[in-house]
Amino acid sequence: MAKTATYLDYNAAAPLLDEARAAIIDALDVNANPSSVHASGRAAKAIIAKARRQVADLVGAKPDHVIFTSGATEAAQMLLTPHYSMGRSPLKVGHLYVCATDHPCTLAGGQFAKDAVSLIPVQANGIIDFDALEESLRAHDKSSGLALVVCHAANNETGVIQPFAKIGDIVKAAGGIFVLDAVQAVGRLDLTIADTGADYLILSSHKIGGPKGAGAIVAASDLVMPMPLIKGGGQERGHRGGTEAVVNIAGFGAAAESAKFSNERFNVLTDLQNHLERGLRKALPEIIIHGQVDGAQAPRLPNTTFFTVPNAKAETLQINFDLAGFAVSAGSACSSGKVGRSHVLTAMGVEGDEGAIRVSFGHLTTKAEIDAFLVAFEQILARMKR
């Protein structure tokens, strides 16, 4: 991360952890292909096996149920498919149901045709509309195949936490498959795959302090699995072909071990969030913090605040914060740098075209940095008034 900026954009990419950096450097000395049977190949394979255990431990899964990918987008593309199998028997999935505030990588619908994808709306606070979900699953044409539901555990823009266990119960009652995008949630929430009710989790390395270019599918069971997206030499137990990126996977594993949920870290982040939001409201009482409706707050990640300044464009605020030395985001940073109307705010029924600023922080963030951000915010407001 640039040393000249105070980095407050952890939801886009967390700074590389020292533990991950060390694992990457060590793995760089192992040049062999992990599929080779000689000693060097076995050493590379051992690195992957260790990382697989570390990622599995992060979410309480079995190591054999972890499939490494190039990232969360590839994992989503593989899971969101009409083509599953139960052992050697094909299993058809007929329709995909996506939460309207999901990340673009799942909103794109994966391998489904557009007419086989339906959006499930959310309430004004960002929580999924359970009635709409249940009605959609009741109306699902079972003759077309199973229903597949995908939803994020925590929203990357607002930080709103979905009641994923309840969603899982609804999907199971309908006989469907449940994919949970846990990219923003792991390490920040105390969760295991069993607790979520999901059949599959999607994880990303660089959101938890690992390197970019690594992600994972974690399955609750290997009884039912999606057909491989990338076919090749049988790597990843036949689920994902291609020589494994040993260096990236090593860093991912080390980050997963360091990112395990901690009550102490959760409380520190919560205190920082409360301090930030008190300061924002003091500077501008009419500020809008998304995820709250009429004073009622949806549960949110302790590191994320997504706010709108009435009558001020988010892009203008972002530029001003950047000039003041603060790296923040105007919504998601996952669309090649594009800044536009947030689909999350649109789905939540938020009117106006101001957009919003996302402040997301982590274990390296200090109270002094939050204080400095609030000073900069007050100065920006003063300039805008002038």
Catalytic positions: 334
Interior angle at CA 127, CA 125 and CA 131, nearest 5: 120
Residue-wise DSSP of 228-284: PSS-SS-TGGGTS-S---HHHHHHHHHHHHHT---HHHHHHHHHHHHHHHHHHHHH-
For residue 366, give both structure tokens: 């200090």
Give the span between the Cα atoms of 70 and 65, in whole angstroms. Answer: 17
Helix (H) or strand (E) holding 357: strand 357-360
Q: Is the dihedral angle over the CA atoms 121, 123, 126, 128 positive or is it negative? A: negative
Q: Which residues make Cβ contacts (< 8 Å) with residue 222, sequence separation at least 6?
A: 64, 65
For residue 352, give both structure tokens: 């106006």
Q: Which residues make Cβ contacts (< 8 Å) with residue 77, sequence separation at least 6?
A: 105, 110, 111, 229
For residue 111, give both structure tokens: 């391998």
Look at strands 296-297 and 292-293 and give their pairing: antiparallel
